[in-house]
């Protein structure tokens, strides 16, 4: 079991013939993802065949064509930042249910518009500027390394890339497998917040505990913490950036403490108020998950 | 990206927002000339990318051209929060009746733009927001339909501004909104927006920040970028090299790694181990010898750094490639400080072997690596 995407997901890759798409699509297929189509305007009617992989993927000019021909219901977007907002809206307009936008560097005002557009659709957007989603043993939509996952009872949501891999890797090595792991993205405006994903995990019978890997900036962690008391499952939290000074952007555009908002203290306090243990280190996450699961 | 007040006023003027007449000047001579052109009293304003210029003595009223010259001599070259004043804006002095605040920015929690208007302008708006939030009107703008007239009306009547000036304020709000979108702003702020004793409404100050992600389509504004003007020398050097680096200063441990979240966490762990992180440095996905070497050099530009901790999660990058780059880069270090390397991922064991006969110390976890570098530095912080 998993949230948002699983074995039955029929996956489309927008920007499949570009550098990122060419590199990561074969790895998604190796993971077991059912990649049914690619979209590159102008290359419709051709077939894309990755090196070293038996599969070949039909290419379409538009998402509409791809959906009609292949029944694609999820999309991974690798297109460059200039075209990414348009690609997201096109996918949503064509009825794609889950969109994973890997593309980074998208202007904020474009994302504000895209967010508002998405609110009027039934589509879930993860990202942009994110590593994507992995439903363990089912499918991978994005760029996370294939080998770190292990099936098990944990849901993982994070704002980072490599830090997510680090956490997942240590959980797996500690004997704690995962249902679905999602990187929501490091930008100030992202499609889906921690809160919405917590709600999804609450509904997923296979997920017994959720790990939130948060960081400074914004108030998505605080918003998520408010929902935890209503959940039937335990949550373990972690906050990155405790030593970051205010006014300095720590790599991610969204990781900044400004105007006294978005501090690590405020986030830790919010989780503690929700009786949610906050791990001090990554090994601590593993320990707290074991405790929460009664292991 | 930040631009200076005088540049922001030029932008405002293009969009039809009234600003006082003025000109940029680099020397006391030029200031005197501009003051003579403008006639009457003038204000000499330091142009640096930092707030609190007035409190720091960077903004001064002058009675006549000679006085303007004297004030310019005090301001040009002065230091404001670590930045040297190299130019000043000379503007005609305005007789002020009321000072308002008007701004448009992103409300990231609402994922929308927000219009902020307040009759309590001219001072620290964040303090006003904290102490007396009722004095501030905020209106969220749906980006798909844009700002509506009724919303501006709500802001005007909810903010305590002089409503007999509604027409003028409404016009400025519309122009500011158009400006914000056209220039890909992340902040467009007028503080203070003043009503003069003659009843005119004018933008006395101007602040514009531009979304870095959108600079690719704002070539005219990108030209205004003064690399390093709002950062220290090491950060400016990093910017030139295209490396994500943030200087925290006075720490003893240089920190680098791949991925922003991992580096931030590494800093936290170093701090817990009793060290003091000197910086944030993300080497990104391409951990080549060149990038690692550049990163080392940047970190060592601060003489406070007497050890470096590099933390790499090798998801897709191979550890042996990183190790090779590290060894090459270490040989070229200008100062041989202790370096601890923690790597995990593909070919980890090969990497470990490669490091055995080098001065680079390998640790297998972030916590052990942080403890090791702190120990090697004698545990001091």
- CATH number, domain at B102? 3.30.470.20
Q: What is the dihedral of CA B221, B222, B224, B230, to 10 degrees?
A: 120
* Structural domain boundaries, residue B211: 96-222
First to last CA, chain B: 34
**What beta strand segments (E) does chain A contain?**
11-14, 35-39, 47-48, 57-60, 74-77, 98-101, 124-126, 132-135, 139-142, 151-158, 178-183, 209-215, 235-240, 278-279
Q: Do A107 and B313 touch (CB under 8 A)?
A: no
Are B313 and A223 an interchain contact pair (Cβ–Cβ within 8 Å)? Answer: no
Residue that the structure tokens 């439903």 belong to:
A135
Structural domain boundaries in chain A? 11-126, 144-292
A214 touching B (Cβ < 8 Å): no
Residue A163 contacts B, CB cutoff 8 Å: yes
Q: How close A62 gets to chain B, by Cα (Å)?
A: 24
Instruction: Report whether pLDDT(A39) > 70.
Output: yes
For residues A212 and B240, give the distance between their C-alpha atoms in angstroms, rounded to a whole number: 35
Q: Does residue B197 register a pLDDT over 70?
A: yes
The domain tally of chain B equals 3
Residues B65 and B138 in one domain: no
The predicted-structure confidence for A187-212, as pLDDT tens digits, reads as follows 999 999 999 999 999 999 999 999 99
CA of B198 vs chain A CAs: smallest distance (Å): 35
Query: Are the CB atoms for A238 and A168 separated by under 8 Å?
Result: no
HSE-CB for B68 with a 13 A CA cutoff: 30
Composition of chain B by helix, strand, coil, percent to 5: 40, 25, 35
Q: Which one is catalytic: A10, A150, A252, A267?
A: A252
CATH code: domain of residue B57:
3.30.1490.20
Please report the pLDDT score of residue B381 as a whole number.
Answer: 45
Q: Each residue of A123-147: b (16+ CB within 10 Å) or e?
A: bbbbbbbbbbbbbbbbbbbbbbbee
Other CB atoms closer than 10 Å to residue A120's CB: what's the count? Answer: 9
CATH code matching the domain that covers A11-126, chosen among 3.40.50.720, 1.10.8.60, 3.90.180.10, 3.40.640.10: 3.40.50.720
Q: What is the pLDDT of residue B326?
A: 86
Structure tokens at A145: 């390394």
pLDDT of residue B286: 66
Nearest to A188 among B108, B217, B248 (CB): B108
Decide if B284 touches A, using CB distance below 8 A.
no
pLDDT grade for B240, boundaries at 50, 70 and 90:
confident
Expressed in angstroms, the distance from the first to the final Cα of chain A is 21
Catalytic positions of B, written as ranges: 101, 189
- B34 occurs within a structural domain: yes
The residues in B 31-90 lying below 8 A from A, measured between CB atoms, are none
Distance of CA A59 to the CA centre of its chain: 25
B13 within some domain: no
Q: B43 and B137 in one domain?
A: no
Same domain, B213 and B241: no
Does one domain contain both B46 and B74?
yes
Is residue B364 in a domain? yes
CA-based nearest residue in chain A for residue B282: A251
Q: Burial level of A258, CB count in 10 A (0-12/13-18/19+)?
A: middle
Whether B172 and B67 map to the same domain: the answer is no
B138 and B214, same domain (yes or no)? yes
Q: Is the pLDDT of residue B226 over 60?
A: yes
Domain boundary among B222, B248, B278: B222
- Portion 236-255 of A in contact with B at CB < 8 A: 240-245, 248-255
The domain that holds B315 is classified in CATH as 3.40.50.261
Q: Is A252 a catalytic residue?
A: yes
Q: How many residues does chain B have?
A: 381
Q: Please indicate, yes or no, if residue B289 is contained in any of the structural domains.
A: yes
User: What pLDDT is attached to residue B379?
Assistant: 63
Q: Is B167 helix (H, G, I), strand (E, B) or coil?
A: helix
**Contact in structure between B177 and B148 (CB atoms under 8 Å):** no
Q: Which tens digit of pLDDT belongs to each residue from B15-54?
A: 999 999 999 999 999 999 999 999 999 999 999 988 888 8
Share of chain A above pLDDT 70, in %: 100
Which of B201, B222, B243 is the C-terminal boundary of a domain? B222
Residue B271 sits in the same domain as residue B322? yes
Instruction: Show Cβ contacts of residue B188 under 8 Å, excluding neighbours closer than 6 positions.
Output: B103, B104, B105, B176, B179, B180, B207, B208
DSSP for B199-267, please give it.
S-EEE-S-EEEE-GGGGGG-HHHHTT--TTTTS-HHHHHHHHHT-EEEE--S-SEEEEESSHHHHHHHH
Domain end point (choices B42, B77, B92) = B92
A290 touches B at CB < 8 Å:
no
Token pair 């944990």: residue:
A154
Q: Could you tell me if A189 lies within 8 Å of chain B, comparing CB atoms?
A: yes
- B50-54, B152-156, B294-298, B307-311: lowest mean pLDDT where? B50-54
Residues B83 and B127 in one domain: no
- What is the rounded CA–CA span in Å between residue B94 and residue A1? 68
Residues A40, A47: Cα–Cα separation, whole Å: 11
pLDDT higher than threshold 50 for residue B161:
yes
Q: Are residues B88 and B109 in the same domain?
A: no
Closest Cα in chain A, distance from residue B269 (Å): 7
A129: left (phi over 0), alpha (psi -120 to 50) or beta: left
pTM of this prediction? Answer: 0.93
Residues B300 and B206 in one domain: no
Q: DSSP for B205-223?
A: S-EEEE-GGGGGG-HHHHT
What dotted CATH number matches A144-292?
A: 3.40.50.261
Question: Which residues of chain B are within 8 Å of residue A216 when distances are taken between CB atoms?
Answer: 264
Query: Over 90: is that where the pLDDT of B315 sits?
Result: no
A11-126 against A144-292: fold identical: yes
Question: Closest to B258 (Cβ–Cβ): which among A162, A186, A188?
Answer: A162
**Whether B248 and B358 share a structural domain:** yes
Is A209 touching B (CB cutoff 8 A)? Answer: no
In a domain, B12, yes or no: no
Which of these ranges, B23-27, B171-175, B203-207, B322-326, has the smallest mean pLDDT? B322-326
Q: Is the pLDDT of residue A16 over 80?
A: yes
With a pLDDT cut of 90, the percent of chain A lying above it is 88
Q: Residues of B228-248 as b/e, b for ≥16 C-beta within 10 angstroms?
A: bbebeebbbbbeeeebbbbbb
Q: Are residues B216 and B255 in the same domain?
A: no
pLDDT at A246: 84
Q: CA nearest B269: which of B279, B259, B277?
A: B277
Nearest to A208 by CA among A227, A226, A231, A225: A231
The predicted-structure confidence for B114-142, as pLDDT tens digits, reads as follows 999 999 888 777 787 778 888 899 999 99
């Amino acid at each position: 079991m998993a949230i948002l995407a699983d074995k039955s997901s029929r996956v489309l890759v927008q920007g499949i013939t570009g550098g990122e798409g060419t590199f990561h699509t074969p790895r998604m297929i190796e993971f077991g993802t059912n990649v049914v189509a690619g979209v590159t305007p102008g290359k419709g009617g051709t077939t894309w065949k990755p090196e070293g992989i038996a599969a070949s993927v039909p290419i379409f000019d538009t998402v509409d064509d791809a959906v009609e021909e292949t029944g694609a219901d999820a999309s991974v977007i690798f297109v460059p930042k200039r075209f990414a907002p348009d690609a997201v809206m096109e996918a949503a307009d064509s009825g794609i249910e889950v969109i994973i936008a890997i593309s980074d560097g998208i202007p904020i005002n474009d994302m504000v518009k895209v967010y508002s557009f998405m609110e009027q659709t039934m589509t879930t957007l993860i990202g942009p500027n994110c590593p994507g989603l992995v439903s363990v043993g089912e499918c991978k939509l994005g760029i996370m390394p294939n080998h770190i996952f292990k099936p098990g009872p944990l849901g993982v949501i994070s704002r980072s890339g490599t830090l997510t891999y680090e956490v997942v890797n240590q959980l797996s090595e500690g004997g704690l497998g995962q249902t679905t792991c999602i990187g929501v993205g490091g930008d100030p405006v992202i499609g889906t917040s921690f809160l919405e994903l917590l709600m999804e995990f609450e509904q997923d019978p296979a997920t017994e505990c959720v790990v939130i890997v948060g960081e400074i900036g914004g108030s998505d962690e605080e918003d998520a913490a408010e929902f935890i008391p209503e959940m039937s499952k335990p949550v373990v939290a972690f906050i990155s950036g405790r030593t970051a000074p205010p006014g300095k952007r720590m790599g991610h555009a969204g990781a900044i403490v400004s105007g006294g908002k978005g501090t690590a203290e405020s986030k830790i306090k919010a989780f503690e108020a929700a009786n949610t243990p906050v791990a001090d280190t990554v090994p601590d996450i593993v320990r707290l998950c074991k405790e929460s699961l009664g292991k | 990206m930040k631009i200076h007040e005088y540049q922001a006023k030029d932008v405002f003027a293009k969009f039809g927002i009234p600003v006082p007449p003025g000109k940029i000047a680099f020397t006391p001579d030029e200031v005197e000339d501009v003051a003579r052109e403008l006639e009457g009293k003038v204000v000499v304003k330091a142009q640096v990318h930092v707030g609190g210029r007035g409190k720091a003595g960077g903004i001064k009223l002058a009675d006549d051209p000679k006085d303007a010259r004297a004030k310019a001599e005090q301001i040009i070259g002065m230091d404001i929060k670590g930045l040297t004043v190299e130019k000043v804006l000379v503007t005609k002095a305005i007789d002020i009746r009321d000072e308002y605040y008007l701004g448009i920015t992103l409300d990231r929690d609402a994922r929308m733009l927000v219009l902020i208007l307040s009759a309590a302008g001219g001072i620290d708006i964040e303090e006003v927001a904290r102490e007396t939030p009722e004095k501030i009107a905020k209106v969220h703008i749906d980006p798909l339909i844009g700002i509506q007239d009724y919303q501006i009306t709500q802001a005007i009547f909810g903010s305590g501004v002089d409503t007999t000036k509604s027409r003028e304020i409404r016009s400025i709000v519309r122009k500011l909104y158009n400006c914000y979108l056209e220039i890909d702003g992340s902040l467009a702020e007028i503080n203070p927006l003043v009503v003069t004793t003659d009843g005119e409404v004018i933008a006395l100050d101007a602040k514009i920040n531009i979304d870095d992600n959108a600079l690719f389509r704002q070539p005219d504004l990108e030209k205004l970028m003064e690399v390093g003007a709002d950062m220290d020398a090491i950060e400016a050097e990093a910017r030139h090299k295209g490396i994500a680096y943030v200087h925290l200063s006075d720490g003893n441990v240089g920190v680098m790694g791949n991925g922003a979240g991992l580096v931030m966490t590494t800093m936290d762990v170093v701090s817990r181990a009793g060290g003091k992180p000197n910086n944030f440095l993300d080497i990104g996905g391409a951990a080549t010898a060149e990038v690692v070497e550049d990163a080392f050099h940047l970190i060592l530009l601060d003489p406070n750094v007497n050890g470096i901790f590099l933390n790499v999660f090798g998801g897709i990058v191979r550890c042996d490639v990183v190790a090779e780059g590290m060894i090459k880069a270490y040989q070229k270090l200008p100062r041989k400080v202790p370096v601890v390397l923690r790597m995990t991922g593909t070919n980890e064991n090969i990497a470990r072997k490669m490091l055995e006969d080098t001065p680079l110390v390998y640790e297998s976890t972030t916590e052990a690596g942080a403890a090791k570098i702190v120990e090697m530095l004698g545990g001091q912080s």
